[in-house]
Amino acid sequence: MGENQRVFTLKRKQNLTGWMFLAPAVLLIILMSFLPMFRALILSFKSGIGQNMAWAGLYNYTRMFKDTVFIQSIKNNFFYLIIQVPIMLTLALVLASMLNNKQLKFKGLFRTAIFLPCATSLVSYAIIFRSLFAVDGFINTVLINMGVFHTGYNFLGNAFSARIILVIALIWRWTGYNMVFYLAGLQNIEYSVYEAAKIDGATPFQSFRKITIPLLRPIILLTTIMSTNGTLQLFDESVNLTNGGPANATITMSHYIYNVSFKYVPNFGYSAAISYVILILVAVLALVQMKVGDRRE
């Protein structure tokens, strides 16, 4: 056996060994992810309940254009996306830059305090925010004592204020999560770069704009895509904080899918079609963000 044949046999054995280790994970991914996705795609072209489901073609997809609740849910999701995501990521980046300062004392305490909301249960924090902004809640009590209001304001009963409260809750919950990504990226940047910029007369804002943001561009792109994906699939806050109200003013697409599947008369075909619309929106926005944000030559 020649030397080339022995090398080929060794590589083949290594490849087979690698595939043997990967096979269980690949099989589980196919069974638990891709197979349900394929079955959901087939289901999205059917209508009816249980054994009476029949092929409906594009009916479920064309129905969406006439569904006022679904259209409202899309508007709500994009409202949260446009308002909450930029504020949250900007705040996370600023906090990460401040907490990366070597001269700052008690950095560990501040980092833990800001990240701690992320460890809070989604249901628990939604209920806490609902209690805070109730008519007889803490926020109204403070505002009445300050003379801002004479009686308790129904924050969750007004469409605009309910959306704003949901945005505030999301910012409180997820800012620390994104801050950790930025902190990890900042700690890979040599501190001497900032010291050199300071010697050259750069202000902290100039260093932030000219050094921090360009060097963190890949991580900013990653967090933007993750945040977009999460916002378009928003569910817990809509269900537990506002219950989609008032009058579906805060309902999200995922919440509407739940209602169509389990709360109203079950229509799994229509809910599967809505889920694929979310998939397409996530994929398109992620592609656009990668094209715009990834400037590698």
Instruction: Tell me whether residue 255 is in a domain.
Output: yes
Instruction: Verify that 178 and 217 share a domain, yes or no.
Output: yes
Inside any domain, residue 287:
yes
- Check pLDDT > 60 for residue 3: no
Per residue in 169-199, pLDDT tens?
A: 999 999 999 999 999 998 888 878 888 888 8
Nearest residue to 222 via CA among 286, 174, 137, 288: 286
- The total of other beta-carbon atoms located within 10 Å of residue 194's CB is 21
* Sequence-distant (≥ 6) Cβ neighbours of residue 192 within 8 angstroms: none
255: pLDDT strictly greater than 90: yes
The per-residue pLDDT for range 59-104, each reduced to its tens digit, is: 999 999 899 999 999 999 999 999 999 999 999 999 998 888 878 8
Is 49 a domain residue?
no
272 in the same domain as 126: yes
* Whole-number pLDDT of residue 15: 81
30 domain-assigned: yes
- Cβ contact 289:225 at 8 Å: yes
Measured CA distances, 133 to 160, 165, 206, 231 (Å): 14, 8, 39, 22
Q: Do residues 102 and 33 both lie within one domain?
A: no
Residues 251 and 119 grouped into a single domain = yes
Please list, in sequence order, all residues whose beta carbon lies within 8 angstroms of the beta carbon of residue 177, skipping any fewer than 6 positions away.
92, 115, 118
Same domain, 7 and 73: no
- Same domain for 30 and 85, yes or no, is no
48, part of any domain: no
In whole angstroms, what is the distance from residue 96 CA to residue 88 CA?
Answer: 12
Same domain for 189 and 152? yes
Number of domains in the chain: 2
Burial string for 93-111 (b: 16+ CB within 10 Å, else e) reads bebbbebbeeeeeeeeeeb
Q: Does 158 fall in a domain?
A: yes
Q: What is the pLDDT of residue 213?
A: 86
Q: Please say if the pLDDT value at position 7 is more than 60.
A: no
The answer to whether residues 215 and 185 touch, using CB atoms and an 8 Å cutoff, is yes
Residue 215 domain-assigned (yes or no):
yes
Rounded to whole angstroms, the Cα distance separating 51 from 123 reads: 35
In a shared domain, residues 24 and 135: no
- The percent of residues above 70 in pLDDT, for the chain, comes to 95
Kindly state the DSSP code that residue 54 receives in the 8-state scheme. E
Residues 23 and 71 grouped into a single domain: no
- pTM given for the model: 0.86
Write out pLDDT tens, residues 121-152. Answer: 888 898 899 999 999 999 999 999 998 888 88
- Based on the fold, state whether residues 138 and 267 are members of the same structural domain: yes
Based on the domain organization, do 27 and 131 belong to the same domain?
no
What is the model's pLDDT at position 234? Answer: 92
Q: Which residue has the tokens 């849910």?
A: 73
Pairing of strands 46-47, 54-55: antiparallel
Specify the CATH number for the domain of residue 128: 1.10.3720.10
Tokens of 68: 């006022």
Judge whether residue 21 has pLDDT over 80.
yes
**Domain, as residue range, for 39:** 3-43
Has residue 212 been placed in a domain?
A: yes
Kindly state whether residues 38 and 142 are assigned to the same domain. no
Distance CA 133, CA 261 (A): 30
N-to-C CA span, the chain? 46
